[in-house]
Amino acid sequence: MTNRLLLLVILCTAIVAGCGVLRIAEPLEPAPWVQAGAPRPASDAESLLLYFQHIRKLSGADLTREYEAARQAYARARTDFNRVRLAMVLSLPGTAFYDETRALDLCDSVAKHEGGRLQGLALLLGSHLQEQKRLTASAQGLQQKLDALKSLERSMIERNR
């Protein structure tokens, strides 16, 4: 009986010591996109929403550096977090690295993880990208029709001269 009690005490001590080690391993610094003095995000989804808010404010060289950081993080660890992070950067219109198709692929791979912590955010971002793609195609179609009408108008004016 005393051997079992001693074994139980040792196991409990080992478990408690292990938990202490895990807490020490947590990063002491918050992510760069979390404002100083602000509470840490409660979830990865909240952290990524703060990240998107952060990158929307960046310009030129800072945005390129952030793209490289997101790309390298994804290359090191292909986690759902890094996939959504890279998809967010790739989905910023007007940038040299804008790649709607790749961003959609990254979102789709996260959205397929049933019950994943970032599944909902990936679905939201993916549906936004699909709608953006649809609207872009529609705008291009309308522009072609407008150009055809302008050409027709020019030819009618020339014919009347």
Q: Supply the DSSP string of 64-102, one letter for each residue.
A: HHHHHHHHHHHHH---HHHHHHHHHHHT-TTSTT--HHH
pLDDT, one tens digit per residue, over 22-77 is 433 334 455 667 666 667 778 899 999 999 999 998 888 899 999 999 999 999 99
Confidence of residue 138 (pLDDT cuts 50, 70, 90): very high
At residue 115, the pLDDT reads 84
Residue 155 has pLDDT above 60, yes or no: yes
20-30: per-residue pLDDT in tens? 444 333 344 55
Residue entry with tokens 């599944």: 119
Scored b (16 or more CB within 10 A) or e, 29-45 reads eeeebbeeeeeebeebb
